[in-house]
Chain A
């Protein structure tokens, strides 16, 4: 089953290392592990202060679940376009890789644009960073996530631009894979945020 599902791909060349693994990829995983701790702390803060605000607006007053659900679908779709970009460069198909990278960046921009709109709508309803505990923990958590997405978009656009200079070829597919790892990480953090912050009810 696994054999049928998989294809063999050519990974980038890398210098011999003591672990036998590319240092850049190992470093990216180490960075992601440390970023898990950052988001773990932010999500913990949100959960600990959940339902402890003494003044409104409260989550139920401002959240628009259908709207955020669409944002979640957009981010999930961007993960698909990202892996398709990687699969393209591993096949040596540079034009298609550019197309998928651009699609990923556009989906990321849509997500961030949606988040900016959501923040503006919440602010209009009276929820600022200092209004209550919910406002503080919500904006810090989702703001950090949004910043990660924005950085990811810059990384995607950088790789997209570099591909025109001849610096991204099939043998450099590791670069695309590293950007992809970061992008998927941002996606799985959103999976947790969407569940814990938006879908689990807080009560009045």
Chain B
């Protein structure tokens, strides 16, 4: 709810439909969406590139790097494209509960199958 506000003239780029009774929210601009997409493409390219670099394999850096890149991409899409950075935090909490549940399930099954042993 914290993002509900009346837009200031310098930020108002969208006009409300006649007799509007909805709410105003802050979202990224199309230019910002394109910038995020470029970053996502670069991170994906880096992800594929490290897969082919022997030095990274030899020094056991591949898995940490791949997880880091995946985390960056996941966060960028969720925060910017899905607007979690701009919308009510209630949505983020719902999503995080799902992620926490999935992670708990993952750890429980790995322990059950003694994958760490």
Residues of A within 8 A of B (CB): 3, 5-14, 19-21, 25-26, 29-30, 32-37, 39-41, 43-45, 47-48, 65-66, 69, 72-73, 76-77, 79-80, 82-84, 86-87, 90-92, 169-171, 180-181, 184-185, 187-188, 191-192, 194-195, 199-201
Contacts and interface: CB of A to CB of B under 8 A. Distances in A.
Given A9-B25, A29-B94, A79-B37, A191 B73 contact: yes
Interface of B: 1, 5, 7, 11-17, 20-30, 32-34, 36-37, 40-41, 44, 47-48, 51, 57, 62-63, 66-67, 69-70, 73-74, 77-78, 81-82, 86, 88, 90-91, 94-95, 97-99, 101-103, 105-106, 109-110, 113, 115
Contacts of A90: 14, 27
B98 A37 contact: yes
B74 A188 contact: yes
Given A11-B24, A47-B106, A3 B44 contact: no
Contacts of A20: 1, 88
A26 B62 CA distance: 38
Given A5-B29, A83-B33, 8 more contacts: A8-B26, A9-B27, A10-B22, A33-B98, A33-B99, A40-B106, A191-B70, A195-B66
Contacts of B14: 7-10, 90-92
25 contacts: A5-B28, A6-B86, A8-B5, A8-B13, A9-B14, A10-B22, A11-B24, A19-B90, A21-B91, A36-B95, A37-B98, A37-B105, A47-B115, A73-B41, A73-B44, A76-B37, A77-B41, A79-B40, A92-B14, A92-B15, A169-B17, A188-B74, A191-B73, A192-B70, A199-B66
